[in-house]
A and B are shown apart, each in its own frame.
Chain A
Amino acid sequence: MAEYYIDIIYVFSAVSFILSLKWLSSVATARRGVIAGILGMSLAVGGTLLSPSIEQYYLIAIAFVIGSSIGIPMALMPMTAVPQRTALSHAFGAMAAALVGTAEYYLRNTSIDTFTMSALSIEVLLGSLTFTASLLAAGKLQEILPTRPITFRFQNVFNLAFLGVAVLAGLYVVINPEATYMFPVIIIAALIFGVLLILPIGGADMPTVISLLNSYAGLAAAMMGFVLNNKLLIIAGALDGSSGLILSITMSKAMNRSFTNVLFGAFGQVQATADNAEQKTYRSASAEEAAELMRTASSIMIIPGYGMAVAHAQHKVRELFDVLTSQGVDVKFAIHPVAGRMPGHMNVLLAEADIPYDNLVEMDEANPEFPQTDIALVIGANDVTNPAARNDKSSPIYGMPILDVDKARLVMVNKRSMSPGFAGIDNELYYNDETLMLFGDSKSFIADIVNELSD
């Protein structure tokens, strides 16, 4: 009887989740969106706890406490660590799905129908591979593991073989649900495939990959919904799955690459040979000279990249923004969709530094403004500003939409040295006549400019 009340609670929970995502569409309503999400989850948990089939609450309560005590510190990490935090929580979510799937299988394998068994296999397969893939991605983002793509011969064949084994084992169990000895094969092969999937992924591909893992974690939850015949799980999982899907499509479009190319292309290991033969010349400038030029400018566009995050320079950038704005300079930030290591990474960092979001401009709006911009200041971004993406058909990034930084009247590039960016591609922007290189750590270099300007 109580089951009906629970289903009604679940309906309200599903509505809250949908409203939550709807309200997240704009900054003005975003806080309300988070509250709606919390409400939805509380209803889901509360409703489930009312279920008459639950016989013990003791261990659940302990798990609540332990989970919260891990979750709270993870939420208080600095904003620069958000990509690895997100990857890590994808791992937790995927693990939960895989564990529940495994438990369900061993409880029910004698009486399961083909459809439910298929959903269960997919749940466990996606859950397991997302678990190891997310852990590895988090390790790479935290730089515990080497961030360069790791590649070897016949890698794709090797990787797909493991996926093949997992899928075949899944099919076998769908046809013969009693074959309990086959079930661990799905899990093990999927766990290994998850590791192999991330080995060839480098930093610049992380925004796409992390979105894809988001999508898998959601799909695994939706599959669990099919297994448990629970529509709330199906709805929430589908919402998460479609969000991950949209983000991965947006990210791969912003790099002009297909999914398969991101996953199997192992970007950035072949093209070291470009044209090292000729020594090209570039001009560099000191903080003093840079400050002098900024003083005479009337509009400045700042292009932040992953380098700004690594140097934790966002607060210094805010000081620069403040001092320039107070001197009547129009300062804006041009944000490339794949700048940083996850979708929206730069926006969050700049918002953290208290830069008003109306000064953050998306690529499509920023590009027409560059020809009227006095100074384009690039801080720790590289490939997203490389004109080779427009002009050089032989370049591996040819066709990728870029910020047309080179069209500004003067370009300043803050970088630690002349070494090429992630993709190992030389950036011809640096050798332009209108480009000044500002060598040094972003945090201290920007601080020097700020000091010069406030004198």
Chain B
Amino acid sequence: MEHQALSINEILSNVYVFVLATFVGLEVIRRVSPLLHTPLMSLTNAISAISIVGSILIAGRGETQSSLILGTVAVGASMVNIVGGYLITYRMVKMFRKKEDRK
């Protein structure tokens, strides 16, 4: 069902989305304080594990033996990033304290 070629309109709307999302990203991330650059990188790293969406589809459809294997390994690899990335980012941002918050 998804094995048919995309129409030019679908391709163009995807290109628009990509360009706009890049600008949103640049604007939002420009404002992140250098204080938080390490958590920023581990958070975006976890977000890039969005490839789990593609991985689940490939693994779940299991159209061929090899696509089943490749997809399953990809799901595992993405899951490492999701779990590890969010957990460590949360650990990090929890550590940042102001003077008055200290016991």
> A residues touching B (Cβ–Cβ < 8 Å)?
17-18, 20-22, 24-27, 30-31, 33-34, 37-38, 40-41, 44-45, 48-49, 51, 53-57, 59-60, 62-64, 66-68, 70-72, 74-77, 79, 82, 85-86, 89-90, 92-93, 95-97, 99-100, 102-104, 106-108, 111-113, 115-116, 210-211, 214, 217-218, 220-222, 224-247, 250, 335, 337, 342-345, 347-348, 351-352, 354, 356-360, 362
Contacts and interface: CB of A to CB of B under 8 A. Distances in A.
Nearest to B31: A25
Given A34-B39, A100-B54, A356-B97, 20 more contacts: A21-B25, A27-B93, A34-B43, A40-B47, A44-B53, A48-B52, A53-B57, A54-B56, A67-B76, A77-B88, A86-B38, A86-B41, A95-B73, A100-B74, A106-B64, A113-B5, A226-B14, A235-B21, A240-B47, A344-B34
A242 B74 contact: no
B97 A351 contact: yes
A24 B37 contact: no
Interface residues of B, number: 89
Interface in B72-103: 72-99, 101-102
A63 B79 contact: yes
Contact of B81 (A20, A93, A250): A93
A221 B17 contact: no
24 contacts: A24-B93, A33-B93, A37-B43, A44-B50, A56-B62, A63-B72, A67-B78, A86-B41, A90-B45, A99-B74, A100-B70, A104-B54, A115-B6, A115-B11, A225-B14, A236-B50, A240-B44, A243-B44, A250-B37, A344-B40, A347-B36, A348-B38, A348-B95, A356-B99
A238 B41 contact: no
B70 to A, nearest CB: 4
B41 A343 contact: yes
Contact of A71 (B5, B11, B84): B84
B62 to A, nearest CB: 6
A99 B41 contact: no
Nearest to B30: A246
A244 to B, nearest CB: 7
Contacts of B2: 53, 228-229
Given A239-B44, A357-B96, A71 B81 contact: yes
A86 B58 CA distance: 26
Given A21-B25, A55-B60, A239-B24, A220 B51 contact: yes
B22 A241 contact: yes
B25 A342 contact: no
Contacts of A360: 35
| Chain B residues touching A, majority SS | helix
A63 B18 contact: no
Contacts of A85: 84, 88
Contacts of A93: 45, 48-49, 51, 77-78, 81
A96 B51 contact: yes
A92 B41 CA distance: 15
A86 B44 CA distance: 11
Contact of A111 (B4, B24, B82): B4
A108 B77 CA distance: 23
B18 A245 contact: no
B48 A41 contact: no
Contacts of A354: 95, 97, 102
B95 A111 contact: no
Nearest to A227: B54
B76 A63 contact: yes
A259 to B, nearest CB: 17
A51 B55 CA distance: 13
Contacts of B62: 55-56, 59
Most chain A CB neighbours (cut-off 10 Å) among B31, B59, B101: B59
Contacts of B17: 231, 234-235, 238
Nearest to B85: A89
Nearest to B64: A107
A41 B82 CA distance: 8
A195 B60 CA distance: 32
Most chain A CB neighbours (cut-off 10 Å) among B61, B81, B91: B81
B77 A95 contact: yes
Nearest to A345: B38
Contact of B32 (A21, A37, A68): A21
A89 B84 contact: yes
A53 B61 contact: yes
Nearest to B88: A75
B48 A237 contact: yes
Those 9 A-B pairs whose CB atoms lie nearest each other, nearest first: A67-B79, A344-B37, A54-B60, A242-B25, A71-B83, A75-B87, A71-B84, A343-B37, A238-B21
Interface in B3-26: 3-6, 10-11, 14, 17-18, 21-26
Contacts of B87: 71-72, 75-76
Nearest to B12: A115
B18 to A, nearest CB: 5
A96 B61 contact: no
